[in-house]
């Protein structure tokens, strides 16, 4: 039952990290971490659509993972907090 696929940790950014960085750049921050620090105590935060080719950003609640994307017509917007913590 042991599957030992060699799962190498690459230095590549994950999709979530990439989205977080994209979101930060769009909103004028230098990094996702800077954005998180600036917005972590806010009652609304910026979020970004998680669809691969969509970089729609909007303001969502800090725990949002299903914010509405007007481009995709889907609940795909995730807040910066959710992106960074999970
Ligand atoms: Zn979208």
pLDDT in tens, 26-67: 999 999 999 999 999 999 999 999 999 999 999 999 999 999
Does any domain span residue 77?
yes
Tell me the C-alpha distance between 26 and 48, whole Å: 10
Q: Name the more confident of 57 and 8.
A: 57
Using the mean position of ligand 1's atoms as its centre, give its distance from the Cα of residue 32 in Å: 19
| Domain coverage including residue 81 | 15-85
> Within its chain, how far is the Cα of 30 from the centroid?
15
**Domain count across the chain:** 1
Does any domain span residue 78?
yes
Using the mean position of ligand 1's atoms as its centre, give its distance from the Cα of residue 5 in Å: 33
Using the mean position of ligand 1's atoms as its centre, give its distance from the Cα of residue 70 in Å: 7
Does any domain span residue 6?
no
Does any domain span residue 5?
no
User: CA nearest 47: which of 58, 36, 35?
Assistant: 58
Q: Is the pTM of this model over 0.85?
A: no
Q: Name the more confident of 11 and 46.
A: 46
pLDDT at 23: 98
Using the mean position of ligand 1's atoms as its centre, give its distance from the Cα of residue 71 in Å: 5
User: CA nearest 79: which of 32, 31, 30, 14?
Assistant: 32
Does any domain span residue 76?
yes
Using the mean position of ligand 1's atoms as its centre, give its distance from the Cα of residue 9 in Å: 28
Residue 18 has pLDDT above 80, yes or no: yes
Residue 13 has pLDDT above 80, yes or no: no
């Amino acid at each position: 039952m042991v599957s030992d696929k060699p799962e190498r940790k690459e230095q590549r950014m994950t999709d979530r990290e990439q989205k977080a960085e994209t979101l930060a750049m769009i909103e004028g921050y230098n990094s996702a971490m800077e954005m998180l620090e600036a917005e972590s105590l806010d009652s609304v935060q910026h979020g970004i659509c998680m669809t691969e080719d969509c970089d729609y950003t909007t303001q969502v609640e800090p725990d949002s993972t299903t914010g509405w994307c007007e481009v995709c017509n889907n609940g795909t917007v995730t807040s910066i907090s959710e992106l960074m913590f999970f």
